[in-house]
A and B are shown apart, each in its own frame.
Chain A
Amino acid sequence: MDRISRSRINDLVIKIATVNGTGSASANAFLMQAIFRMGIPVSGKNVFPSNIQGLPTWYEIRANKDGHVGRSARVDLMVAMNPKTYSRDIKEVLPGGAVLYDSSWPLAKELMREDVEFFGVPLSQMCIANFRGSRQQILMKNVSYVGVLAALLDINPDILCTIFEEKFGAKPKLVELNNTSVKLGHDFALENFQCPLQSHFEIMDGNKDSVIMTGNMAAGLGCVYAGATVGAWYPITPSTSLMDAFRSFCEKLRKDPETKKNRFCVIQAEDELAAIGIVLGASWMGARSFTPTSGPGISLMGEFIGLAYYAEIPAVLFDIQRTGPSTGMPTRTQQGDILTTAYASHGDTKHIALFPADPGECFHFAVTAFDLAERFQTPVFVVSDLDVGMNDWVCDSLEWDDNFVPDRGKVLSAEDLEDLDEFYRYLDVDGDGITYRSLPGVHPKGSYFTRGSGHDKYGRYTEDGALYEEVVDRIREKVDSAATHVPKAEIIEKEGAQLGVVTIGGCRGAVLEAVEELSNDGFPVDYLRVRGFPFGPEVEEFLLSHEHNIVVEQNRDAQLMKLLTLETNIDKKRLESILDNRGSPLSAGIVVSGVKDLVDLFLTTTNRN
């Protein structure tokens, strides 16, 4: 029989099925890191329940020599550690694939498959015999399956050993414990199975200058580098790890060297309304301030977002999207807040938004977001999602330009104010829609009243329609002018392509993989990924230059497609959708088959015309 397809070197999908709260996460991370250190492009995705202990959890590792590490629906090797999900897990394995299971208890006959190879290892028995205490026995079982995989897939255990030493250097007992566990699994596999499998890993050179990061970690670090000093938040999955990262980086990097006091302030607010209020208060004073949240938080922040827009207060909001509406599926991914963030709050509003695709962009866009917020004196959304924010990505290592000077926008100094006859907060002196700002406490002449109620260009309260309109019209132009300042769309053109494929955010990996595959199959397509809103002119140009465009996104209602029809001159009839809305990261297969189906459709309609 065709065992895990002979030819598969450095091209494998391993899925690990466990129970949450059993400590498998760190074992899985070790495995991924070991593959990374062999130089093989790799990604790790968590599929976890909204629960703390006792429910099924999966971790999907995809290693691919060509760098395609978006999610793949295929499973080559299943590590089945959760008897409750045996049945569905085993069904998922590709014919020719393999299953690793704990043979301490026999596997029911009906679960066996002819077309899949089974590797039974008595992991529990081994761990009970070798370790003391149930906690240790459970934890080390995870590390032992990593040992088995090391043997089956030809990962040198020394790599794991080095990782343990780096991680637990200060606790030699822990290093030893982990090494023993790896050895248990590794030795058993060598004795009982023919190792390595035909499909296995070989050292290559694909990860030079790369790091493994999550998007939230990178965004938190970006806030540190951007010079943010005040962060406010209310805990919500999947955004929590962003503030955790900011705080822990600050604890390391933002202490006054002498007093050991904090050059930052993180406030855990009582709710998201307060979180955004704190951000606006701090920004009003001139601090760079931000809040990470998810859809439910954005909904609560609505009123204040409008105030910030209208009173022209900078603010940075990270929306790590999860499935809505309402509480939805809190631990599953979605791109369901594209429209909400674009026009958040009542009345006429429109907001600058950035859409990072990976941790590298999360880092850099965080910095850009603060610059744009201060330059345009308005809220800026960094619209990420659970897949980008919480999963483990390999990305180019981060570089910082030490000559970077933050763009604080038009802020008047005490000297500037001293020289002015009269200061008017909302007067468009330069004719670019952006007015001068003064900060509290700087100079008596700088005082003005920040208000969300009607005001004229002098900052005075008004209920005069014409004076009101003058201000809001200027604000519209101001925000529109950000179109050429947000990150430009990523565009890849293919020889002979007729069709445009448009996508956003974390869909990038899967769509690029699909573009390659389509090209190899004789369907070349041009690719555009939107990275900012308001859309730059290149977005409209791209759409208009293709008879048909297919918009790939992860929500039910085609939100990006709708936004494109609202904000560009493209005819709705020239846009089609591929929608993926089940809460998992996008996989290339969906895009490939979706595009092919649509191409068929275009051909038949064209013929009819």
Chain B
Amino acid sequence: MAQTGKPSVRHPSLKVNKLGLTQRDYEGSMSTLCAGCGHDSITASLVQAFFELEIEPHKVAKLSGIGCSSKTPAYFLKEAHGFNSVHGRMPSIATGANAANRGMTYIGVSGDGDSLSIGLGQLCHAIRRNVDMLYIIENNGVYGLTKGQFSASADVGTKAKKGEENRMGPIDPVALALSLGASFVGKGFSGDKQQLVPLIKAGLSHKGFALLDVISPCVTFNDHQGSTKSYQYTRDHVQEVVETDFVPVLHEITAEQASGDVTSVAMHDGSVVKFRPVAEGYDPTDRDGAYSHIATRQAAGEVATGLLYIEKGSQDVHSFENTVEESLVDLDFEELCPGNQILQELQKQWR
């Protein structure tokens, strides 16, 4: 992995956001992934999304597990605190961090191996707690970093580079998340930035756990003929179910769209997610409808993408635990330590 930062020459024509930052300021160190790796495209979409949302980089916590995908938090938001944890256990780190400091924006990046095999349990429980974070699975159907073994998301019949065929059915993170009651489920493709950036922005603004499963081809181990997670296969089989647009709270008026069949969902901070169904009758606020539509598309060999499900007004772990509005890390010791007088009172019952 590279330690070299990119040259920080500021091009005068670069666009500046409200914080006076350019898109460059949202980048990280140079990627060391294989040229053409889908993960790098997702990184680029993340950079753009954070830039456009005008989030202060140091107010972001970026976390990951282990894998090629999990290396990517080093490649965006150099001013954000990063946590490259252990294989499959990033959700628990994020859960604890969020419990202690709810004032940060949390982004977790994981792989299909990291999330669906070793880390499946933690993923499920983070969904169940509805931890307030965007969780991206950079899904390539293989373990990239350990050189191309099938992962649990490999489709039946998909062929490994050496020709061996996968016979076991995949674990589909989208279906899984829906059945676990996830409050935000989206699916994207690393090669479709136009769709991905609004999805990332919506996920970051969602209060609760936003799962984004992004097909992200591994050019080295899983981009050949016979693979169902290659660039070619994905381009041929993607079916967008809704067109998504994300309108941050401050830009609402200017970004008004005139289309007749656009539906809006207000986020907790006042931002708006707008979507226009492409597939007939698709309503991403209807969990059962979403579930059956995705299942039908899947059976037809298609990959349904876009904002698949969103729950309005979802409650996160802090509502379940009834914690104070301020972050626990901001409480003073005096507010936490009851003092000697109370200790003496308390002990009367034990005499």
Mark A residues whose CB is within 8 Å of B: 36-37, 166, 207, 210-213, 221, 224-230, 232, 249, 253-254, 256, 259, 261-267, 269-271, 273-287, 289, 303-304, 307, 397-402, 404-406, 438-444, 446-453, 460-462
The 24 sampled A-B contact pairs (Cβ below 8 Å) are: A221-B346, A225-B337, A230-B99, A263-B336, A267-B96, A271-B121, A273-B122, A274-B91, A274-B121, A283-B96, A285-B100, A287-B99, A287-B101, A287-B328, A401-B340, A404-B337, A440-B81, A440-B97, A441-B101, A441-B103, A444-B79, A447-B79, A451-B82, A451-B83
Q: Report, nearest first, the 4 A-B pairs whose CB atoms are least far apart.
A: A277-B92, A281-B96, A278-B96, A287-B100
Is there an interface contact between B340 and A400, defined as CB atoms closer than 8 Å? yes
Is there an interface contact between A229 and B121, defined as CB atoms closer than 8 Å? no
Q: Which residues of A contact B325 (CB under 8 A)?
A: 259, 261
Q: Counting CB contacts under 8 A, is B17 at the interface?
A: no
Chain A nearest Cβ from B215, distance in angstroms: 27
Q: How far is the CA of A269 from the CA of B89 in the complex (A)?
A: 12
Q: Which residues of A contact B342 (CB under 8 A)?
A: 253
Chain A nearest Cβ from B3, distance in angstroms: 4
Residue of A nearest to B64 (CB): A451
The stretch of B55-63, B181-189, B271-279 in contact with A is B55-63
Q: Counting CB contacts under 8 A, is B125 at the interface?
A: yes
- Which residue of A271, A402, A405 contacts B339 across the interface (Cβ within 8 Å)? A402
Residue of A nearest to B87 (CB): A303
Q: Counting CB contacts under 8 A, is B31 at the interface?
A: no
Q: How far is the CA of A271 from the CA of B61 in the complex (A)?
A: 24
Main secondary structure of the interface of B (DSSP, over half): helix
Chain A nearest Cβ from B336, distance in angstroms: 4
Q: Which residues of A contact B347 (CB under 8 A)?
A: 211, 397-398
Q: Counting CB contacts under 8 A, is B85 at the interface?
A: yes
Q: Which residues of B contact A229 (CB under 8 A)?
A: 100, 328-329, 331, 336
Is there an interface contact between B59 and A441, defined as CB atoms closer than 8 Å? yes
The stretch of B199-207, B225-233, B257-265, B316-324 in contact with A is B316-324
Q: Given that A270-B121, A444-B79, A461-B1 are contacting pairs, would A227 and B323 also be in contact in the complex, using a CB cutoff of 8 Å?
A: no
Q: Given that A224-B338, A271-B121, A400-B343 are contacting pairs, would A277 and B99 also be in contact in the complex, using a CB cutoff of 8 Å?
A: no
Q: Which residues of B contact A269 (CB under 8 A)?
A: 92, 125
Chain A nearest Cβ from B130, distance in angstroms: 13
Q: Given that A253-B342, A261-B324, A279-B96 are contacting pairs, would A449 and B329 also be in contact in the complex, using a CB cutoff of 8 Å?
A: no
Q: Which residues of B contact A254 (CB under 8 A)?
A: 336, 338
Is there an interface contact between A285 and B122, defined as CB atoms closer than 8 Å? no
Q: Given that A230-B96, A285-B97 are contacting pairs, would A452 and B323 also be in contact in the complex, using a CB cutoff of 8 Å?
A: no
Interface residues of B in 16-53 (CB under 8 A from A): none
Is there an interface contact between A266 and B340, defined as CB atoms closer than 8 Å? no
Chain A nearest Cβ from B204, distance in angstroms: 16
Q: How far is the CA of A228 from the CA of B94 in the complex (A)?
A: 18
Interface residues of B in 304-351 (CB under 8 A from A): 317-318, 321-325, 327-329, 331, 333, 335-340, 342-344, 346-347, 349-351
Is there an interface contact between A282 and B100, defined as CB atoms closer than 8 Å? yes
Q: Which residues of A contact B85 (CB under 8 A)?
A: 277, 280, 307, 452
Is there an interface contact between B96 and A450, defined as CB atoms closer than 8 Å? no
Q: Which residues of B contact A304 (CB under 8 A)?
A: 86, 89
Is there an interface contact between B97 and A441, defined as CB atoms closer than 8 Å? no
Chain B nearest Cβ from A405, distance in angstroms: 8
Is there an interface contact between A284 and B3, defined as CB atoms closer than 8 Å? no
Interface centre among B59, B323, B324 (most CB of A within 10 A): B324
- Which residue of A36, A278, A405, A438 contacts B99 across the interface (Cβ within 8 Å)? A278
Q: Counting CB contacts under 8 A, is B104 at the interface?
A: yes
**4 other A-B residue contacts (CB within 8 Å) besides A229-B331, A270-B124, A273-B89:** A267-B129, A274-B121, A281-B99, A283-B100
- Which residue of B80, B93, B95, B101 contacts A447 across the interface (Cβ within 8 Å)? B80
Is there an interface contact between A447 and B328, defined as CB atoms closer than 8 Å? no
Is there an interface contact between A450 and B338, defined as CB atoms closer than 8 Å? no
Residue of B nearest to A212 (CB): B350
Interface centre among A207, A229, A275, A452 (most CB of B within 10 A): A229
Q: Which residues of A contact B323 (CB under 8 A)?
A: 261-265
Q: How far is the CA of A263 from the CA of B59 in the complex (A)?
A: 22
Q: Counting CB contacts under 8 A, is B98 at the interface?
A: yes
Residue of B nearest to A281 (CB): B96
Interface centre among A275, A284, A438 (most CB of B within 10 A): A284
Q: Which residues of A contact B287 (CB under 8 A)?
A: none
Is there an interface contact between B321 and A265, defined as CB atoms closer than 8 Å? yes
Residue of B nearest to A403 (CB): B340
Q: Which residues of A contact B350 (CB under 8 A)?
A: 211-213
Q: Which residues of A contact B79 (CB under 8 A)?
A: 444, 447
Q: Which residues of B contact A275 (CB under 8 A)?
A: 92
Q: Which residues of B contact A37 (CB under 8 A)?
A: 351
Q: How far is the CA of A265 from the CA of B349 in the complex (A)?
A: 26
Q: Which residues of B contact A438 (CB under 8 A)?
A: 81
- Which residue of A210, A259, A303, A461 contacts B86 across the interface (Cβ within 8 Å)? A303
Residue of B nearest to A363 (CB): B343
Q: Counting CB contacts under 8 A, is B224 at the interface?
A: no
Residue of A nearest to B92 (CB): A277
Q: How far is the CA of A462 from the CA of B1 in the complex (A)?
A: 8
Q: How far is the CA of A343 from the CA of B249 in the complex (A)?
A: 51
Chain B nearest Cβ from A233, distance in angstroms: 12
Residue of A nearest to B350 (CB): A211
Q: Given that A166-B349, A261-B325, A441-B101 are contacting pairs, would A280 and B82 also be in contact in the complex, using a CB cutoff of 8 Å?
A: no
Q: How far is the CA of A212 from the CA of B349 in the complex (A)?
A: 9
Q: Given that A271-B121, A453-B84 are contacting pairs, would A286 and B329 also be in contact in the complex, using a CB cutoff of 8 Å?
A: yes
Is there an interface contact between B331 and A440, defined as CB atoms closer than 8 Å? no
Q: Which residues of A contact B100 (CB under 8 A)?
A: 229-230, 265, 281-283, 285-287, 289
Is there an interface contact between A262 and B321, defined as CB atoms closer than 8 Å? yes
Q: Which residues of A contact B321 (CB under 8 A)?
A: 262, 265-267
- Which residue of B3, B92, B343 contacts A461 across the interface (Cβ within 8 Å)? B3
Chain B nearest Cβ from A346, distance in angstroms: 11
Is there an interface contact between A452 and B86, defined as CB atoms closer than 8 Å? yes
Q: Which residues of A contact B161 (CB under 8 A)?
A: none
Is there an interface contact between A263 and B328, defined as CB atoms closer than 8 Å? yes
Q: How far is the CA of A228 from the CA of B346 in the complex (A)?
A: 19
Q: Counting CB contacts under 8 A, is B74 at the interface?
A: yes
Is there an interface contact between A278 and B92, defined as CB atoms closer than 8 Å? yes
Q: Which residues of B contact A210 (CB under 8 A)?
A: 351
Is there an interface contact between B58 and A441, defined as CB atoms closer than 8 Å? yes
Q: Which residues of B contact A283 (CB under 8 A)?
A: 96, 100
Q: Counting CB contacts under 8 A, is B78 at the interface?
A: yes
Interface residues of B in 164-189 (CB under 8 A from A): none
Q: Which residues of B contact A405 (CB under 8 A)?
A: 333
Q: How far is the CA of A447 from the CA of B57 in the complex (A)?
A: 9
Is there an interface contact between B336 and A277, defined as CB atoms closer than 8 Å? no
Q: How far is the CA of A444 from the CA of B20 in the complex (A)?
A: 14
Q: Which residues of A contact B95 (CB under 8 A)?
A: 267, 274, 277-278, 281
Q: Given that A287-B329, A401-B340, A447-B80 are contacting pairs, would A282 and B92 also be in contact in the complex, using a CB cutoff of 8 Å?
A: no
Q: Which residues of B contact A261 (CB under 8 A)?
A: 322-325
Q: How far is the CA of A22 from the CA of B86 in the complex (A)?
A: 46
Q: How far is the CA of A447 from the CA of B125 in the complex (A)?
A: 28
Residue of A nearest to B101 (CB): A285
Q: Which residues of A contact B336 (CB under 8 A)?
A: 224, 227-229, 254, 263
Chain B nearest Cβ from A158, distance in angstroms: 16
Residue of B nearest to A463 (CB): B1
Chain A nearest Cβ from B227, distance in angstroms: 29
Chain A nearest Cβ from B46, distance in angstroms: 16
Q: Which residues of A contact B340 (CB under 8 A)?
A: 399-402
- Which residue of B1, B58, B74, B338 contacts A253 across the interface (Cβ within 8 Å)? B338
Q: Given that A269-B92, A281-B97 are contacting pairs, would A274 and B122 also be in contact in the complex, using a CB cutoff of 8 Å?
A: yes
Q: Which residues of A contact B331 (CB under 8 A)?
A: 229, 263
Is there an interface contact between B343 and A399, defined as CB atoms closer than 8 Å? yes
Q: How far is the CA of A274 from the CA of B128 in the complex (A)?
A: 14
Is there an interface contact between A451 and B84, defined as CB atoms closer than 8 Å? yes
